[in-house]
Structure 1
């Protein structure tokens, strides 16, 4: 037992004994006051320790988060059995051992009512403890998940920034290589290329910090870049754009086309007799870059930054995959066209998000049930007391107790019963149907 729990038990013992002595004990003496404190201590320590041990045992072996239904059912059963035994034990010590009453009337008359009242009060206390434990466990789980998601998001942002920072030196290095080749081949074109490259590099600086750009923006930039490549390679390279108009306002990662066009030039040879044909088009929600395969023998191993950069950036932004297709005749890359902007902070896929929403809804349902149960345990004993104190010959308390009890049982059935399994199965069927329909 913790020091805090021990202090709480002492305070409850002291306050309970004092209240009973002040309002329900006719003989006001030091002996009777100490006796009331002793009796209150017997009840408080026995019931608190018993319920605390049961609650701790169940929490160690059955998680409120992962085994909610099992934990709740076992908690209810164990609470009823344990409190029934503990209250009868305490009442026996108080009524039979200390007050020297006859055991023959222990389950009838005033002592029977005292047993019943004590069991209800103990069940109320236990229900509050179990509800408190449930809420604390879910709060811990929620805080842990929030921290984990923040760490994942920070890691994703750091990784995304690192990938974007690769673009500056990568583009500049490749552009300088092209310029270097043009200076020897055609100084006039090299001068034209230098001016155009400054405009293109300005676009790189403007767009590289964005997570997504529209397809239209990316195509305008790619066409400018293709013009430069055609200036350098003349009739050795041909580019064709055929992107559907409805896809122009959708989104792709910035500079993806430029990196893929670079790959086409870098890994394939192009001559007037064997020109390189590059086609950029859209199909079934993807932007495709396809070229005829004329593999160039590599003098040195490629760093592999371009394609890898695109794949990793898409992986951080969306569950949609980048597809790479290769045959003896062509090489094709398919990058997803996104219909809405997504933040790097979005680290959960749709199934995880759905699971989290359902878990949140489940917590609300369970909190509502335990709130209903606690209210029942508080109000019904009070109504019974009022009934027996005011009109003992007519027991009207049975009506609210039974009516509310049926409602509570129905609530418990909805939260823990068969209906939930049916609902989850139907949700799963709908999700599977939608998934198959979108496939």
Structure 2
């Protein structure tokens, strides 16, 4: 029990004791006031604290978001048993121990049955409020989680869009076509090879554009084809070294990451025959590295770093491991995490999020409706009992609405949490399986 809860129960105890002392106590003495505070504190801390502890325990063992039906059934059973025991205990201490208004035999023979029943209803009201509050807090957490997932999906879509925009620089296509044009007259055979390589590059782009991860083997193979085109274009001005361990080729990286990094190397560095640009692609531990000697090209406009930022963003959606960047006076290196398995991708969430959200939204409305009904029952029925006993104590009519409404609540609860909902879910799954088999 938190300090805030203790303070709240203390204020409730004080307010309750003041109410009963000034309105129902005939002898207003310090002793009676102290006894009233003691009794009020007992009821507040035993009933309120007991129900609070039960609710906290159930929240940890059976969270609403993970086991709604089981939690609802266990909650109903737990609050009934707990409150009956706590009420009988508190009333026994009050009437037998403190006030000495009855003996133990008289108390358990039924003299205080009505008082016990009335107090149990009040305790159930407190418990229903606590469980409803716990449910609403859980609902708020689930809503926040849904918002985070929606932001994640939006972020993924943005990353994919940026990836498409940056997959192949338009300048690369323009320069490649110029190279191809010159090769057609000078070396037709080489021109055919160059055209085939360009075809493979764009085919790979189309195949991988919607994937979250690809194997290191596929990405390196694609990078080698891309480097062959660059080599044809720059000749001796650029050299490439590939040194990827055989054990790492079955791991996974973000698609087109090497292409973007190779493009950056060419874009931001000078490459001449006298000062060739050396680019190394190698594996180091559980990272795939691309390193180049630093020969920074003078640029009128500073680079925005969109390509590298896109890679970092896409990795952030898939793993907690970071993309590392090293820069010194002599070299520039980027380290990409190699993943041993494919994590759950955002696309899977995106495919099912709408249906899941609609079902969850409908389910929440049903549960809220049940708890609103239960809380209304716990508030209205005690009021009707008091009104009946004050206006016509010889004619007890409160049993009719109490029993009728109570049966309705039981039926409502079974529909929401037990028979009706389980049968409906099973039937939906059965029909979906039949439809799937037909296809």
Do both share a fold (TM > 0.5)?
yes
- Contact 1:117–1:381 (Cα < 8 Å) also in 2: yes
**Shift in Å at residue 133 of structure 1?**
0.7
- C-alpha distance in 2, partners of 1:17/1:267? 94
Q: Which piece of structure 1 moves more, 100-109 or 78-87?
A: 100-109
Asked whether the 8 Å contact 2:180–2:194 carries over to 1, the reply is no
Q: Shift of residue 315 of structure 1?
A: 4.8
8 Å CA contact 1:153–1:346 kept in 2: the answer is no
**Cα 1:418/1:179, change in 2 over 3 Å:** same
How many angstroms apart in 1 are the aligned matches of 2:25 and 2:110? 20
Change in Cα spacing, 1:79 to 1:175, as seen in structure 2 (3 Å) is same
Report 1:305-344 matches (<5 A): 305-315=201-211
Q: Please give the residue correspondences for 1:12-411 in structure 2 after superposition, counting only pairs within 5 Å.
A: 12-103=12-103, 104-107=105-108, 111-167=112-168, 169=169, 171-183=170-182, 305-315=201-211, 348-411=349-412
2:374–2:409: 8 Å Cα contact kept in structure 1? yes
* 8 Å CA contact retained: 1:160, 1:313: no
- Which runs of 5 or more structure 1 residues have no equivalent in the other structure? 188-232, 234-264, 270-295, 317-344
Q: Distance in 1 between matches of 2:3 and 2:393?
A: 44
The count of corresponding residues between Structure 1 and Structure 2 is 303
Return the alpha-carbon distance in structure 2 between the equivalents of residues 181 and 130 of structure 1: 73
Counterpart in the other structure of 2:416: 415
Cα distance change, pair 121–185 in 1 and its aligned pair in 2 (3 A): closer
- Could you tell me whether the CA contact under 8 Å between 1:152 and 1:347 is conserved in 2? no
Change beyond 3 A, Cα 1:426–1:108: same
Q: For residues 160 and 267 of structure 1, what CA distance do their matches in structure 2 show?
A: 31
The 3 A distance-change label for structure 1 pair 184 and 163 is closer
CA-based RMSD: 2.9
Compared with structure 1, are the counterparts of its residues 97 and 156 closer, same or farther at alpha carbon in structure 2 (3 Å cutoff)?
A: same
Which stretch shifts more, 350-359 or 89-98?
350-359
**Structure 2 unpaired stretches of 5+:** 213-345
**1:113 to partner: Cα distance:** 1.5
Distance in 2 of aligned mates of 1:57 and 1:308? 54
Q: In structure 2, how many angstroms separate the alpha carbons of the residues matched to 1:349 and 1:266?
A: 42
SS at match of 1:76: helix
In 2, Cα distance between equivalents of 1:428 and 1:353:
18
Superposition deviation, residue 314 in structure 1: 3.7
TM superposition score normalised by structure 2: 0.63
TM normalised by structure 1 equals: 0.63
Q: CA deviation at 1:361?
A: 1.0
Q: Residue 107 of structure 1 contacts residue 115 of structure 1 at CA under 8 Å; is this kept in 2?
A: no
Structure 1 distance, partners of 2:414, 2:80, is 18
Q: Secondary structure at the match of 2:112?
A: helix
